[in-house]
């Protein structure tokens, strides 16, 4: 660009960066009096305004999600990731939905007296394995590290016993304390 020297200043000394910011971000002019008269600033500003009006036109282009995107995504997340295939496949494969595993884990957690409410998300971690995200609302009183260890222990044991799926990881958060009467 002919108007620009290598130090990115116009020949009048104005920083190109300042002009760009002015046009692109709508920032106030650093030196409006100079700018209005300057034979270097004016054409540069003109070019930038044209370019940014195009940039804004491009930004305003409507973008529609492609048809079927949601269906494709749901089909994929409901497919392999939505089920855990059990490793024992002597007479055909058995698949257990992650929703079932999450449900088992939730009931096990809620069966503990100190747990008022549990919510569990499960996702398949590999053949025969599942990773869990457990959120708890707990009663006031018990030590939380002890409670967390108990929740993990119970979930791993029961999920294993009921479904033969191994729990590889339990991300656990204690989200709230239960109100005294619950």
CB of 43 to other proteins, least distance (A): 12
Parallel, antiparallel, or unpaired for β 166-177 and 129-138?
A: parallel
Output 82 or 142, the one with its CB closest to other proteins. Answer: 82
Beta strand 95-97 pairing with 83-85: antiparallel
Q: Applying CB under 8 A, does 152 fall inside the site for other proteins?
A: no
Site string for other proteins, 55-74 (x = CB under 8 A): xxxxx-x---xx--x--xx-
Instruction: Give min distance, CB of 91 to other proteins, in A.
Output: 30
Q: Which helix (H) or strand (E) holds 175?
A: strand 166-177
Dist. CA 179–CA 173, nearest whole Å: 18
Cα separation, 31 vs 35, in Å, equals 6
Q: Which of 5, 31, 37, 50: binder of other proteins (CB under 8 A)?
A: 50
By the 10 Å C-beta count (0-12 exposed, 13-18 middle, 19+ buried), 143 is classed as: exposed
List residues near other proteins by CB under 8 A: 1-2, 4, 8, 16-17, 20-21, 24, 47-48, 50-51, 54-59, 61, 65-66, 69, 72-73, 76-77, 81, 121, 123, 131, 133, 171
């Amino acid at each position: 660009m002919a108007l620009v020297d290598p130090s990115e200043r116009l020949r009048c000394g104005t920083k190109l960066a300042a002009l760009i910011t002015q046009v692109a971000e709508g920032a106030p002019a650093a030196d409006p009096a100079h700018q209005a008269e300057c034979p270097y600033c004016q054409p540069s500003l003109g070019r930038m305004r044209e370019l940014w009006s195009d940039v804004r036109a491009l930004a305003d282009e409507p973008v529609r999600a492609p048809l079927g995107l949601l269906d494709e995504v749901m089909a994929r997340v409901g497919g392999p990731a939505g089920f855990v295939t059990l490793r024992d496949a002597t007479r055909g494969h058995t698949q257990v939905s992650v929703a079932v595993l999450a449900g088992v884990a939730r009931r096990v957690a809620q069966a503990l007296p100190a747990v008022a409410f549990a919510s569990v998300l499960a996702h398949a971690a590999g053949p025969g394995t599942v990773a869990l995200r457990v959120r708890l609302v707990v009663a006031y009183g018990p030590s939380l590290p002890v409670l967390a260890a108990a929740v993990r222990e119970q979930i791993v044991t029961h999920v294993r016993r009921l479904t033969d799926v191994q729990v590889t990881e339990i991300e656990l958060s204690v989200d709230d304390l239960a109100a005294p009467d619950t």
